[in-house]
A and B are shown apart, each in its own frame.
Chain A
Amino acid sequence: MINVSRRYGSNYALKDLSIKIFPHEFVILVGPSGAGKSTLIKLIIREEKPNKGKIFVAGRNVTKLSFNELPYYRRNIGIVFQDYKLLPKKTVWENIAYALEVSNVSDSDIKRRVPKVLKAVNLENKEEAYPDQLSGGEAQKVSIARALVHNPKILIADEPTGNLDPEAGREVADILEKINCQGTVVILATHNKDLVDKMRKRVIVIKEGRIVSDQRQGRYTY
């Protein structure tokens, strides 16, 4: 990410931001609300374009992706949100399978891949449940499983523990670490101080659209 700026009207959400994230890395983004963390994530998944600067993912300039390339690009990036974004009328299994269905994956492949990711998040016994029958932690794990089902190279989690109790939050963090150990880059935006301090990962602090600190084994400070 090189000299990236994004403004809404005359207000800058990000200003001249440059970050380099390496393969297999686990990066935590912290900062007060409105600091620009969510904007940064929107730019990486190309939901929005920067007004200035370039973003490279695996050597490709994301800002130059064509309309048709976008879906394929997004399949390489798993995304997890604070509010899970599960479809309420679909079961756990269907929610995960849905990500594959709309990406033109065959039925037999779906049957093979869904149990694998459910196992990775310890939810093998919940595949018939509907989202409203799940606890917050379980719902978030389904959301992670859905993000993982395309075998993404990067997993982005925007406040994944925001709605969870400490124990469930810890479990989600464990899963993210496990995913990272298997080689996936994890970018975690969070306000969870305990989690950040315990994990001892690279911590980037963003404030008013700029990076104010970037520490290898950082702590939650801003």
Chain B
Amino acid sequence: MIKIKRILKTAFIDFVRNGWLSLTATLIMTLAVLTVGVFLLLFLSTNKIVAELKDKVDIVVNFKDSASEQIIQQLKTDLLSREQIKSVKYISKEDALEEFKSRRSVKVEVRQLVTPEDNPLPRGLQIQSVDFKEFDYVSNLIKSSAYASYIDSSSYDDNKQLIESIDNSTKFVQRLGLGLSLFFIIVATLVVFNTVRLAVIFRSKEIEVMRLVGASEVFVKYPFLIEGSMYAILSVVVSTAVVFLAINILQALGGGTVFDQFVQRLIPVYFEEFWFVILVQTMVSLIIGLGASYMSLRKNVKI
């Protein structure tokens, strides 16, 4: 207990004494933590957006009138046997008609042309999948000889392009975020490494005295490790404050800014995942703080 108290005291005094250095280290680490946080938010929200899109994107397969009900039901059974296929909904001619009649975008005159007696609308299957990749399976299946001749059209090719472009942009955003985070983590590690090195040089006389009077390693090295952790914790606090400030400013500016869409998406995700984001940020910053201090001590302090 006495030990902990004395180590904490030394660490705190040193942190205050090296004011500017501590401030620089904390701010650089804040930048790293902030980048990690923003990246995490982008990652979480793009995942969320993709998940939402997955629900919305489906394939509709339309059958020729020559296709028997049996064939349609057969395809439905085949599709449902795949675990990744979420749902397959049968659309009868009547369903199709009803849906068509309800479309406001179609002129009334045109809508009236189609009647239950003279209904050219095809029967179809509406397929939803939990995984984009499964759409390839669907495409192959409907193109297979067993079904191809009965199928009038499918929305597969249109959707495929859309899906691929969403997939690519998501991956790009995530990779960019990861790259930026890594860059700032490396910069922060180097800065903390040097800050601790300077602190060691500032305190070299004291460290020498400590060695001579038989101070145990804990007393010599731990205050620096605590100092590294203090940069870490403070950087998480500062970066959270910055995020809150930014949210307030953006909300005060209101709609109409270019960020608006972005903010509308990100803010709810941030509050939903608040503790998870803080946890990841704390862990990353502690690894930087402790790791860099430890490396610096190994290099610069001998017992």
Interface: B219 (CB within 8 A): yes
B209 with A74: CB separation less than 8 A: no
Interface: A194 (CB within 8 A): no
Range, interface on chain A: 20 to 34
Nearest Cβ on chain A to B3's Cβ, whole angstroms: 6
Q: Which of A173-208 contact B (CB under 8 A)?
A: none
Find chain A residues with CB under 8 A from B56 CB.
none
B216 with A102: CB separation less than 8 A: yes
A85 with B205: CB separation less than 8 A: yes
Find chain B residues with CB under 8 A from A107 CB.
2
Interface: A21 (CB within 8 A): no
Nearest Cβ on chain B to A213's Cβ, whole angstroms: 30
Interface: B303 (CB within 8 A): yes
Q: Which of B165-182 contact A (CB under 8 A)?
A: none
Contact A71:B215 (CB < 8 A) given known A101-B6, A104-B2, A104-B3: yes
B213 with A74: CB separation less than 8 A: yes
Cβ-neighbour of A74 out of B3, B6, B211 (below 8 A): B211
A68 with B217: CB separation less than 8 A: yes
Interface: A72 (CB within 8 A): yes
Interface: B157 (CB within 8 A): no
Q: Give Cα distance in the complex from A75 to B216, angstroms.
A: 10
Q: Which of B212-257 contact A (CB under 8 A)?
A: 212-217, 219-220
Contact A79:B303 (CB < 8 A) given known A68-B217, A104-B2: no
Q: A45-B212, A67-B303, A99-B214 are in contact. List 20 more A-B contacts (CB 8 A).
A: A47-B211, A70-B214, A71-B214, A71-B215, A71-B216, A72-B214, A74-B214, A85-B205, A98-B209, A98-B213, A102-B210, A102-B213, A102-B215, A102-B219, A102-B220, A103-B213, A103-B216, A104-B3, A107-B2, A150-B214
Which residues of A are at the interface with B, using a C-beta cutoff of 8 A? 45, 47, 67-68, 70-75, 79, 85-87, 98-99, 101-104, 106-107, 146, 150
